[in-house]
Structure 1
Amino acid sequence: MSVSDSPVDRVKEHIRRYVETDGADGHEWQPGVFTLLLTTRGRKSGELRRTALIYQPDGDGYAVVASQGGAPTHPAWYLNLQEDPVVHVQVGADKFQAHARTAGPEERDRLWRLMTEVWPDYDDYQSKTDREIPVVVLEPVKG
């Protein structure tokens, strides 16, 4: 099945380079800021949708933030994984299936601090919106 990449041109270009080079170009997006590729199933279309997200490793999994730059609504990828939490992840050249879940309050606080260490703008994004920006944990599926 084909995958539709982000409709945002700069993100689409980032994904193209990431995929073509198996993460050699794109995994480190900016100095010290690493990205992964997250593929979700569209909750309405059923199509596979892929985007690039800043991440931080956490234990065996990875944390990402559903910020959408502080927009008043959640990003489509987050709404998709709420409907179907089975996702595909690529971290550098490593590709795997994962289960996505929203971090609970205490875990979110810890992971939020972890994420703002690498991308301080998340605090600015949170101040722009009344919604609590979710932190998502991507846990690799074993076996």
Structure 2
Amino acid sequence: MGADEVVDSPRDFVARHIRRYVESGGRETEVARGLEMLLLTTRGRRSGKRRRTALVYGQDDGRYVLVASDGGAPRHPSWYLNLVADGQVEVQVGPETFLARARPATAAEKPRLWHLMTSLWPDYDSYQAKAAREIPLVVVEPLPER
């Protein structure tokens, strides 16, 4: 595998969704309940490899909002740990691909953004209830084109 190749999620259902998303040129993005997903590529904090996953997103004033829930798992998802280590990410939303800066939402931002995301996917509240951790929100801001 070359240094620039992307490794897709090891979860089979996520990898299938990514494959469909990429092969359709970003036209097949729906996951469930009419929600669309974006593709997020981070740099592995230990491996240095580019790693891609598909995530439900919200939009907030030109920014994208992600929930690092992993279904309420006891640990943060790897993609979240990767972007905390290196916030420069690649994003694909439909056919558009761009570089962005990703960061955890601040304590001041979180209540409003949590409400936004639970209005899209109410299950986030049940994920938080079962998680033994505070589920982080991530704000993704596209970088200006060069």
With the length of structure 2 as denominator, give the TM-score of the two structures.
0.95
1:37 is matched with which residue?
39
Cross-structure match for 1:21: 24
Partner residue, 2:142: 140
34, 48, 51: which one aligns with 2:50: 48
- The aligned counterpart of 2:98 is 96
Q: Distance in 2 between matches of 1:64 and 1:11?
A: 16
1:23 Cα deviation from its structure 2 partner:
1.5
CA distance in 1, matches of 2:76, 2:48: 19
Task: Provide structure 2 residue ranges, at least 5 long, that are not aligned to the other structure.
Answer: none
Moved more, 44-53 or 125-134: 125-134
Deviations 1:90-141 (A, max 9, x none): 0001100000010011211111100011100000000011211000000000
Computed over aligned residues only, the root mean square deviation of the Cα atoms, in angstroms, reads 0.8
Query: 5 Å matches for 1:72-111?
Result: 72-111=74-113
Alignment partner of 1:71 out of 47, 52, 73: 73
* Equivalent-residue separation in structure 1 for 2:132 and 2:75 (angstroms): 9
- Aligned residues of 1:32 and 1:118 also touching (Cα < 8 A): no
Q: CA deviation at 1:22?
A: 1.5
Partner of 1:6: 9
The one-letter code of the counterpart of 2:118 is T
Moved over 6 A (4+): none
| Structure 1: gaps of 5 or more residues | none
Q: In percent, how many aligned pairs have the same letter?
A: 58
